[in-house]
Amino acid sequence: MLEVNKENFEAEVLEASKSQPVMVDYYSPKCEPCQELMPEVEALAEKYGEKMKFCKLDITKNRRLAISQRVMGLPTMCFYKDGEKVAQLSGEDLTAAEIEEEIKKHI
């Protein structure tokens, strides 16, 4: 998974989503549900990496960017296509199965 930030977000997520769907995992190192979900999200990135680009963004270092993308809680997974956010999943009870279902809708 590619680590994105305010410097490369536009190129790696918005521009890249014009050629293939992109999922961004918004997380914080101090967010326990985020840390629990991360290995499963990385496994999904391995499984679907040829059909979708997977990125992660540490909101503690990119707070304004997260707010501009309307990410208000963690963990949050956002899906981008054609330079636009097309779907968002979030909540402490978010599961890998729910994320995988959403991935399948966009590939």
Q: Which positions are catalytic?
A: 31, 34
Q: How many CB atoms lie within 10 A of CB 71?
A: 22
Query: What is the DSSP code string of 50-102?
Result: TTSEEEEEETTT-HHHHHHTT--SSSEEEEEETTEEEEEEE-TT--HHHHHHH
